[in-house]
A and B are shown apart, each in its own frame.
Chain A
């Protein structure tokens, strides 16, 4: 009976940890989904997240409130979205190249601003971070109760999943977005403004990705560190592919990717004999394995990655 209880407890805390580390990837992936549905691939998600992380820590520090950090991260992320949209929609630049440019800009920009704003040891600044909020009753459910003991921002992320599904599948605006992503010429003929839809989804998506960055700097940690996103933006891109461009699929994908991270942390704290570097590799290897192993036929929006030239 006791052993059973211990196992239950381990499973429960594991689910909690998994969701906690998966949430930022989930938020970023949903943000990416918005623009991918409209036919825009943004590998600048990594950089946008990094900028969001810095903006989040600055906002939380200035207003001494983590939610203000998330808000500022969203606003700044949206601005990055404006730049990206200008490059890929107005200028019709190659989306991959534009994304790379955003990533380089983010790396240099955040490092510079961080050093100016926080000085050399940013971790010493007093930045308030999100606290876990347990939802009454629900958090008392055995095993799965831990699902309801997360950061406030994580709940928002979970709600974003059905919301996005509904928006894309059941509303007119969702239909417009999807038509722009699948067949921009037809959408244009039907009177839908392709540039407007793409600008809109890129800006909103980037704002969401920015908030995902804030989750890292005022949630998982309570400071900004250089290049702290460390590939999560790309893992989010992988989650969109692995989740087959479906919000629920993406949720499952991020939960799986979070598993690697949570397991890694657990093994490290347990004092595993495996060198810690191999544990740290796990989330990345798991992502590669997922992309290689289980994807099957991918169903990307047809106009994905292509600039639209009005004929």
Chain B
């Protein structure tokens, strides 16, 4: 059914222009990029109609969106600040997705990561930064990782559907944080429901004055590289992909899907946890209820639009980061509610889905024509 790139083999050097065209047409990257861009444009156009319907002015709304996200250096830094957790939560979904698991739980993992990071980051002030900061980040990773690990354990041991358990665990995590910051972890004397502040030795430093852009971005990019490395260079990553595409084959080939799932969900959860640690250590400086504006859920859209590819996830993160940072400006200047960006976000996802499916068909037709023209024997 599905034609893959490289399924066309021209015989000899008689190809000429049609061959290079067919190469181009069958090149995954060109197609994907083209579809993605067209889908985003289409989503923005429909988004304009939506803004019009709810009584806003699309032109001024988009102008404000642009002003707040990409128009100048300061706005762009802010976009990157928002993109940082999105890239990490996008990786959380992507790790699981490549292994055939559906992880809707990045939000909960993010909270649990934030919890452990706060626990370590607001204590041990005597440690030098070179030890304290990595330790705190590791705590964040572990917090989310363990939260993901439970999901995998419930799945491989009891067959509990991870799609549902991850959602349930989001709520459990959110209530747990609410309990912590109103109870055991409340900052003395207990006036506000928040934890003690993170000590200076565990704060993620900013790059320069006047912008919130911080080292978390580098961390996120390193994680993207490691994600690529895991699935492309490691044996276990290869096995994970096999488990994801065909569970039975993996099993017959002597792989251990259960162990792979446990590992992958630990890593996926760890990415969510790092997103939480990152948000606490660089932006918020303390733990409180609802410190994430839904980064965990947005990560799903990031991974979907980025099609689980490393570069795609970075671009997806920047795109939705831009929507988030520009959304504030849109609300302030154009008076269009910030929730509209969620509509635009979902439109992007819907159009990307449609684009992928529709062009798959037209692409297949195109490939057949090229094949005929090349006089395939």
Minimum CB–CB distance from B117 to chain A (whole Å) comes to 20
Flag if A291 contacts B167 (CB, 8 Å): no
Among the listed stretches B69-77, B135-143, B204-212, B348-356, which one makes contact with chain A, having 4 or more residues with CB under 8 Å of it?
A: B348-356
Q: Closest residue to A236 on the B side, CB-wise?
A: B164
Q: Is residue B163 contacting chain A, with contact meaning CB distance below 8 A?
A: yes
Flag if B161 contacts A112 (CB, 8 Å): no
Q: Closest residue to A94 on the B side, CB-wise?
A: B353
Q: Closest residue to A291 on the B side, CB-wise?
A: B160
Return the contact of B342 from the options A94, A104, A115 (Cβ within 8 A). Answer: A104
Residues of B within 8 A of A190 (CB): none
Among the listed stretches A202-210, A211-219, A279-287, which one makes contact with chain B, having 4 or more residues with CB under 8 Å of it?
A: A279-287
Q: Is residue B169 contacting chain A, with contact meaning CB distance below 8 A?
A: yes
User: Mask for B147-164, Cβ within 8 A of A = 1, else 0?
Assistant: 000000010011111011
Flag if B168 contacts A234 (CB, 8 Å): yes
Count of B residues near A, CB < 8 Å? Answer: 47
Residues of A within 8 A of B169 (CB): 284, 288
Known A-B contacts A104-B301, A285-B168; the reply to A115 vs B339 at CB < 8 A is: yes
Flag if B345 contacts A93 (CB, 8 Å): no
Residues of A within 8 A of B168 (CB): 231, 234-235, 238, 284-285, 287-288
Flag if B179 contacts A108 (CB, 8 Å): no
Minimum CB–CB distance from A245 to chain B (whole Å) comes to 14
Q: Is residue A97 contacting chain B, with contact meaning CB distance below 8 A?
A: yes
Interface size class of A (residues with CB under 8 A): 35 or more
Minimum CB–CB distance from A232 to chain B (whole Å) comes to 11
Flag if B171 contacts A281 (CB, 8 Å): yes
User: Mask for A287-311, Cβ within 8 A of B = 1, else 0?
Assistant: 1100111010010000000000100
B interface SS class: helix
Flag if B179 contacts A101 (CB, 8 Å): no
Flag if B179 contacts A105 (CB, 8 Å): no
Bound CA–CA A275/B176 (angstroms): 10
Flag if A111 contacts B339 (CB, 8 Å): yes
- Number of CB contacts from chain A to chain B under 8 A: 138
Residues of A within 8 A of B358 (CB): 91
Residues of A within 8 A of B357 (CB): 91-93
Flag if A278 contacts B353 (CB, 8 Å): no
Q: Closest residue to B151 on the A side, CB-wise?
A: A288
Flag if A298 contacts B354 (CB, 8 Å): no
Q: Closest residue to B166 on the A side, CB-wise?
A: A234
CB-contacts of A198-255 with B (<8 A): 230-231, 234-235, 237-238, 241
User: Mask for A98-127, Cβ within 8 A of B = 1, else 0?
Assistant: 101110110111011101100000000000
Q: Closest residue to A293 on the B side, CB-wise?
A: B158
Flag if A104 contacts B297 (CB, 8 Å): yes
Return the contact of A104 from the options B1, B179, B183, B346 (Cβ within 8 A). Answer: B346
Known A-B contacts A111-B339, A291-B161; the reply to A100 vs B304 at CB < 8 A is: yes
Minimum CB–CB distance from A171 to chain B (whole Å) comes to 30
Q: Closest residue to A239 on the B side, CB-wise?
A: B164
Flag if B172 contacts A285 (CB, 8 Å): yes
Residues of B within 8 A of A309 (CB): 1
Residues of B within 8 A of A93 (CB): 353-354, 356-357
22 A-B pairs within 8 Å (CB atoms) are namely A46-B167, A100-B104, A104-B345, A105-B343, A105-B346, A105-B347, A108-B339, A111-B337, A112-B54, A115-B337, A116-B337, A230-B171, A234-B164, A238-B164, A241-B164, A277-B179, A277-B182, A281-B171, A285-B172, A287-B164, A291-B165, A309-B1
Which of A's residues lie within 8 Å of B, judged by CB? 43, 46, 87, 91-94, 96-98, 100-102, 104-105, 107-109, 111-113, 115-116, 230-231, 234-235, 237-238, 241, 275, 277-278, 280-281, 284-285, 287-288, 291-293, 295, 298, 309
4 closest cross-chain pairs (CB), A and B: A108-B342, A105-B346, A111-B339, A292-B158
